[in-house]
Amino acid sequence: MYAFLWRHLPGPVYVKVLVALIVAAVIVVLLFGWIFPWVEPLMPFSGNTVSQ
Amino acid sequence: MWAERTRTTIRSLGEILITLGVVLFLFCAYQLFYTNVVADEAMKSEVSDLHKQWAEPPAARSAAPAADPFDTADSQGHSGTAFAILHIPRLGDKSIPVLQGTTLDLLGRGVGHYKDSALPGQIGNFAVAGHRKTHGEPFRYLDEMRAGDLIVVETAQTWYTYREDRDPFIVEPTDLGVVAPVPNEPGEKPSQKLITLTTCNPWWASTQRMIVIGTLIAERPRAQGEPPALTVNAPKFQ
């Protein structure tokens, strides 16, 4: 999978490394900003209130 | 050719599993560190906003009626508005904002006031929920509180001091009785001024709820400064 992605990144090696790092950073930002906050309430460890 | 393809498939499978492992690791980092950083910042800004708002002269405040979280016909208040600050000397000097409502998104900015419960200092039960772990974890060490500990609630006009009635205890998550106006007797007419703190138990799980209850012992106008509970050297945990 990663070999396939690497082959399809454009340009010389340093551009490939740069693009890969930027993509990884964007994915981490997406995870922390949107995906994890969305997943969190579905997990069974954040109840603090008494309710029915 | 066939062997080559099998190798590629197995390698890709391995890479996907490693990627999932990294994502799970990041989720742990998010829960353990990131939510606390975000929540601490949010709580600090809620507290400083409240102080700013309370420091304004009353005339300026009445010009902005939306600032009063309970200025609505049904007295339920606007969800998400901070209206008080909780101080628990036993757990340290942290000022914890109290927001109206107990939904999870609010509990990342402070502790939440059960909408139907009494307001601080009123007859009835002032009930509040907070995180035990993650999101600022304001009630992380609630189990270290002991009967007799003081809990101070700061509002626009008044300091309310409550004294803890008994050591923290555990109930089922469905035990609504603890937040009733008269605890465990829903429907009874209250005569006492109580406070109830709820959080999850044990750490990292929410199979139970930990409860702290207290009774109002003193009121003090805001203008007179901090109540003795905050100025004397109270027993501290940590």
d(CA B35, CA B48): 20
Tokens 């992380």, residue located:
B140
Tokens of B216: 């109002």
Nearest CB partner across the interface for B131, out of A39, A41, A48:
A48
pLDDT digits (tens, 9 = 90+) for B145-200: 999 999 999 998 899 999 999 999 999 988 888 989 998 888 888 899 999 999 99
Closest-approach residue (CA) in chain A for B173? A50
Strands (E), chain B: 82-87, 95-100, 111-113, 124-129, 150-154, 158-164, 169-171, 193-201, 208-221
- The alpha helices in B30-173, defined as continuous H runs, are 35-55, 58-63, 104-107
DSSP letter at A32 equals: I
Chain A residues closer than 8 Å to B176 by CB: 50-52
Instruction: Determine whether B131 is an active site residue.
Output: yes
Chain B residues closer than 8 Å to A48 by CB: 102, 107, 129-132, 139, 198-200, 206, 209
ipTM, interface predicted TM-score of the complex:
0.89
Domains and CATH numbers, chain B: 30-56+81-231 (2.40.260.10)
pLDDT digits (tens, 9 = 90+) for A8-41: 998 899 999 999 999 999 999 999 999 999 998 8
